[in-house]
Structure 1
Amino acid sequence: MAKVAVVFPGQGSQYLGMGQAWMETSSQARELFSLAEQASGLPLIKLCQQGPMEELTLTVNLQPAIIAVDLCCWQGLAAAGIKPHAVAGHSVGEYAALAAAEALTPAQCLELITLRGRLMDRDAHAHPGAMTAIMGAGPEEVAALCQAVEGEVQPANYNTPSQTVITGETEAVAAAGALAKDKGLKAIPLKVSGAWHSPLIAEAGKDMAAALEPLSFAAPTCLHVPNTTGEPTNDPTVIKNQLMKQLTAPVRWVQTIQALLGQGVDVFIEAGPKTVLAGLIKKTAPSSVNVLNVQEPADLEKLDAIL
């Protein structure tokens, strides 16, 4: 019997037309998008299907848009009978994971990530920053690069054993990237509008924690892996407390995948647009593990052969 983990992507996986096939084939998906538009006050259907891409990619628009699509994909998986051993999400994708595990309702999830996007957008304008992916080095070497330059810069996303994203002040991130290139590493600036998972958005982190604090999280229906720890838990108090720290803490994706492998997970299903997480997982997990992506209804057919 396969042991399944369902994982949810965040910003960076968007494309024009995402979610359209679900909208065309599922009344449940249409209801979810309606809920997302109501929670966000944004024309998410139009943004997802028509763009323009520059407007869709704005953090304030993208967070509710990407999570609406993630949740449509999850609805399809749940309807197909998928019962995961565990769930996890990358950055904002963690909110979709919590909705899938029923720790949060879809309405709570969409309201929270709408606020999250607005707060991050606010702080990005107040404290501009940048992010760069460093490839070809382990996390310790990337941390050393950050410490070797002046200014605010630190690891943000531990994506694979040899890819770590750094975040912080624009000049400091550029200096660390230049130092990486001097050492023969790849340094690719990311197209983001702020220094996510850094102290530059500390005020957004405080305001997000204040919004989460009064909420009661339900016990999840399966294990959940918080970004901040990479350690599976089913304790709603731990989940809530870690989510309150998430905005300025690094995304420990390598640790997340390693922990799920330690749980005996042998099938990973990425529920959401594109295959970004599937690609990252394949660079951490052994080749014997099955890694699938479900972003459209037709992708559900791939599950039969595996499960």
Structure 2
Amino acid sequence: MIALVFPGQGSQYIGMGKEFFDKFEFIKNLFDKGENITNLPLKRLCFEGSFEELTQTINLQVSLTITNIACYEVLKSQLEKKSIPVSFVAGHSLGEYSALYASKVLSLEDVLLAVKERGKLMDLEGKKSSSAMYAIIDFPLEELEKLVKEAKDIVVISNYNSPKQLVISGNVPSVDEIAEKAKNLGAKKVIKLKVSAGFHSPLMKEAEIAFSKILNSLNWNDPQIPFVSNITGKEERSGDTIKELMKKQITSSVRWIDCVEYIYNNGVKVFVEVGPKKVLCGLISQILEGKTFKCYNIENFETLENFLKNL
């Protein structure tokens, strides 16, 4: 059994997806369609840069999503040739929209329009807000929960990425104070994330309200491949339920540990990270430490061949 997982912000680099674009006509067509739908220069952003321009939230969300989808389409063509089914799909934060495309909950057009608007709204919140996010490395969850409860202002655990990597999100200076306390109490590392605001927290409420209207305008289908949600940490089978969950996604914690454990406990021993880099493979290795599993990534010909020869 195979599960496909799709990365989110932080996995981008200049040149992502270019090998597949150069080789396959259907990937060239995909990027052309993406540019027509979004009016963004996706080929230039992904293949030429600058990195600074690519990482602007407005550009990044669409650029990363189209790259994930390109990698998925190449992988899908290979899996179909070998008649290998996919048992589950999941994505990390922004990556959920790539998973919704793969499971046919949303069309290409709806996914790209959604992530473009999501990027705009998150950028707007970033400009309004004095909030931040920190990754807290190797620090007990119970201890962090206690610290967060003691915060003077809004601070939440926004990402349960792995037992060794938690993320907090909240208003400045409270979130800075909690990060400093965690460091003083023995966290191995505390890293301020390069994001414009405290995402996956109640601070995104205005963005959630505005984004809900956009999501209501899209055509939601029941998933054709089981979709595991960041919010519930389990499979969701109804397009309408998924729509309501995606409305809450910007203000809700990413329960990645639950997602991976759910997929593993339902019989999957092979995870494939579809898109740039191997961030999720790293997290999955921490979540399933000591258990039998394999995690591959697909981002170019070398990684694709490595996966196919090990099937």
TM-score scaled by structure 2? Answer: 0.95
Match of 1:302 among 299, 302, 306: 306
Aligned to 2:61: 63
1:225 correspondence with 2:228: yes
Structure 2: distance between partners of 1:137 and 1:181: 9
* Structure 1 residue corresponding to 2:214, chosen from 208, 211, 214: 211
Aligned ranges 1:70-81 → 2 under 5 Å: 70-81=68-79
Contact 2:110–2:218 (CA under 8 A) maintained in structure 1 = no
Task: In structure 2, list runs of 5 or more residues that go unmatched.
Answer: none
Which residue is 2:242 aligned to?
A: 239
Aligned to 2:244, what secondary structure does the other structure show? helix
| Cα displacement string for residues 31-64 of structure 1 (whole angstroms, at most 9, x for unaligned residues) | 1112222222211211112211111111111000
> What is the SS of the residue equivalent to 1:283?
helix
Q: Does 1:119 align with 2:121?
A: yes
Instruction: Give the drift of 1:128.
Output: 2.9
Distance 1:36 1:128, change over 3 A: farther
8 Å CA contact 2:110, 2:219 repeated in 1: no
Aligned to 2:109: 107
Question: C-alpha separation between the residues in 1 aligned to 2:283 and 2:167?
Answer: 13
RMSD: 1.3
Q: More deviation in 228-237 or 71-80?
A: 228-237
User: Is residue 221–residue 238 contact of structure 2 (8 Å, CA) maintained in 1?
Assistant: no
- 1 CA distance for matches of 2:11 and 2:19? 16
The equivalent position to 2:48 in structure 1, one of 39, 47, 50, is 50
Q: Which amino acid aligns with 2:139?
A: A
In the TM superposition, residue 198 of structure 1 has moved relative to its aligned partner by 1.6
Note the alpha carbon deviations across 1:257-298, whole angstroms, 9 max, x for none. Answer: 000011111100000001001100010114420100001133
1:187 counterpart SS class: strand
Q: Which moved more, 1:74-83 or 1:59-68?
A: 74-83
TM-score, normalising length: structure 1: 0.96
Q: Provide, for residues 151-178 of structure 1, a one-character-per-residue CA deviation record: whole Å limited to 9, x for no partner.
A: 2211111000121111111312211110
Q: Does 1:193 align with 2:191?
A: no
The DSSP-based 3-state class of the residue aligned with 1:268 is: strand
Q: Which of 267-276 and 218-227 deviates more?
A: 218-227
Contact 1:127 1:201 in 2 (8 A): no
Q: Which moved more, 1:209-218 or 1:44-53?
A: 209-218
- Matching of residue 291 in structure 1 with residue 305 in structure 2: no
Residue 186 of structure 2 is matched in structure 1 by 184
Distance 2:19 2:55 in 1: 20
The alignment status of 1:21 with 2:25, answered yes or no, reads no
Q: Which residue of 2 aligns with 1:135?
A: 137
Query: 1:279 — aligned with what?
Result: 282
Contact 1:157 1:165 (8 Å CA) reproduced: yes
For the 8 Å contact 1:4–1:86, the answer to whether it is kept is: yes
2:235 counterpart SS class: coil
CA contact (8 A) 2:199 2:251 kept: yes
Cα deviation 1:200-253 (Å, max 9, x = unaligned): 221111111111124331121111011111111222222111111111100000
Measured after TM superposition, the shift of residue 83 of structure 1 is 2.6
Secondary structure (helix, strand or coil) at the match of 1:216 reads coil
**What percentage of residue pairs aligned between the two structures are identical?**
38
Q: Does 1:267 align with 2:270?
A: yes
Following the alignment from structure 2 to structure 1, what is the Cα–Cα distance between the partners of residues 156 and 121?
21
Deviates more, 1:108-117 or 1:161-170: 161-170
- Mapped partners of 2:205, 2:301: distance in 1: 39
